[in-house]
Amino acid sequence: MRILHVIPSLAARFGGPPKAAQELCRELVRRGEEVCIYTTDIDGRERLQVPVDSARRDKDGIECWYFSTRGSGLYGVSVALVNTVRRNIRNFDVVHIHSLYRFSTAVAAFYCRKYGVPYIMRPHGTLDPYIYQRHRMRKTIYERLIENRNLERAAAVHFTAAEEMSLAQSLGLKFRGVVVPLGIDVSLPSSSDDVLRAQFAHQWPETSGKRTILFFGRITQKKGLDLLVKAFGQIAREHGDVHLFLAGPDDEDYGRKVRAWLADEGVTNRATFAGMLTGASKEAALAAADVFVLPSYTENFGLAVIEALAAGIPCIISNRVNIWRELSSAGAAIVVKCDAHELASAIVALLNSPDLRSRLSDAGRKLVADQYTWATAADRMIALYREVAASRPNSSLQTA
């Protein structure tokens, strides 16, 4: 099959969505599929320093186009994208469109319908009522003009968790939903890797001899960092050997608020802001963590959680992380409400119980190996692509 992915940006600062799209495409190429990505040069307030408006093939065999954009916003208006989509869209068997309320989405969906190319949309959590209700007046106009039609006429709307699809269905929108979870590369470091733990303590000496509570994600409002700081303050006043380690980009300058809350709790010197970590530094942080916490107010999947589980880190998540039911059923994580006191109690319970940490670690590793690898995700996605592509008039593809 010839498969096109259209995504507004592949900038690393945008976290899980670009990472997941690239890793899925990499696995599809490994399976022998022909994959192309159309994206833009958006990188927050800046522009990615990449060649634009021409094709290049990366080391994994993926043909990738970065299109130049106009203006300073995230909408991403691009004349070059329009021209290339109009010229090339008919050459693909299926198109996978990422994100709503973006120029690239509107263009790709329009030309797919115009030329009869089946397309799949992935909303990236924007149909969660918590996010959907924000900027409602502006969104309503856009939806009536563009987005509702995009969803209704999509061959499928791709959700990564059953909870994400259920929340979207509660809005009363018309679409055909399918659930295909994301995956990860399971060759992550073990949390028992003493070499990496020593490297972590050397790189961040303030953590030496401390039990580390790890947060991995963007420093932003929806991640529940207000809850985490309040819970940590409560724990730190009673336990002198804990340290909070926050790893992730702070593009919105939200870290200023988090630091102010830490100061209010009197624990500023017991927290580290590491910024965005990749490569060996990321592996060291995963290996050294004693507990992983993600108390988000909304989270359509939570790729960082899966990475933590694969590394064997005992995890605590809120019941707004959309894979919470799957993790709870498997006994792979502690699930709490978005409440600081409940969160603090769960963290203390984990820190005080080696047996509980061991059980969660084992269950988490097993769950990831069974359900959340890219091999499993690619199998499911290829089956969906074949089903969707076969619906195209005169298609030679048959459903799997």
Residue 112 lies in a domain: yes
Q: What pLDDT, on a 0 to 100 scale, did the predictor assign at position 396?
A: 62
Q: Are 76 and 104 in contact (CB under 8 A)?
A: yes
- Reply yes or no on whether the pLDDT at 41 is more than 50: yes
Q: Which residue has the tokens 């408006």?
A: 53
315 and 360 inside one domain: yes
- Percent of the chain scored above 70 by pLDDT? 96
Which residues lie closer than 8 Å to 292 by C-beta, 6 or more apart?
A: 214, 215, 216, 304, 305, 308, 313, 314, 315, 316
Residue 398 lies in a domain: no
378 and 364 inside one domain: no
What is the average per-residue pLDDT within 121-128? 95
174 and 240 inside one domain: no
204 vs 198: which has the higher pLDDT:
204
Residue 176 lies in a domain: yes
Number of domains in the chain: 2
What is the average per-residue pLDDT within 380-397? 87
**Distance from C-alpha of 299 to C-alpha of 172, rounded to nearest angstrom:** 20
223 and 175 inside one domain: no
92 and 178 inside one domain: yes
What is the average per-residue pLDDT within 26-39? 96
Residue 395 lies in a domain: no
CA distances from 227 to 100, 185, 258, 294, 341 (A): 29, 30, 10, 10, 8
166 and 41 inside one domain: yes
355 and 256 inside one domain: yes
Residue 188 lies in a domain: no
> Which of 218, 363, 182, 372 lies closest to 296 in space, CA to CA?
218
Q: Are 299 and 320 in contact (CB under 8 A)?
A: yes
Write the pLDDT tens digit of every residue in 66-102: 999 988 788 999 999 999 999 999 999 999 999 999 9
Q: Note down the domain range covering 218.
A: 194-371
- Reply yes or no on whether the pLDDT at 400 is more than 50: no
Write the pLDDT tens digit of every residue in 288-344: 999 999 999 999 999 999 999 999 999 999 999 999 999 999 999 999 999 999 999
52 and 176 inside one domain: yes
Q: What pLDDT, on a 0 to 100 scale, did the predictor assign at position 15?
A: 81
Average pLDDT of the chain to the nearest whole number = 93
Q: What pLDDT, on a 0 to 100 scale, did the predictor assign at position 191?
A: 46
CA distances from 396 to 32, 96, 254, 271, 390 (A): 17, 19, 51, 58, 7
302 and 359 inside one domain: yes
| Sequential DSSP letters for 195-236 | HHHHHHHHHSGGGTTSEEEEEES--SGGG-HHHHHHHHHHHH
Write the pLDDT tens digit of every residue in 129-185: 999 998 999 999 999 999 999 999 999 999 999 999 999 999 999 999 999 999 998
- Reply yes or no on whether the pLDDT at 355 is more than 80: yes
Q: CA-based diameter of the chain, in Å?
A: 69
278 and 292 inside one domain: yes
Residue 396 lies in a domain: no
What is the average per-residue pLDDT within 245-249? 96
Model confidence at 211, pLDDT cuts 50, 70, 90, reads very high
Model confidence at 394, pLDDT cuts 50, 70, 90, reads confident
117-131, 177-191, 281-295 — which is least confidently predicted? Answer: 177-191
Residue 55 lies in a domain: yes
The CATH number of whichever domain residue 336 belongs to comes to 3.40.50.2000
134 and 150 inside one domain: yes
**Distance from C-alpha of 368 to C-alpha of 381, rounded to nearest angstrom:** 17
- Reply yes or no on whether the pLDDT at 352 is more than 50: yes
16 and 158 inside one domain: yes
Residue 136 lies in a domain: yes
55-64, 191-200, 236-245 — which is least confidently predicted? Answer: 191-200
Single pTM value for the model: 0.90
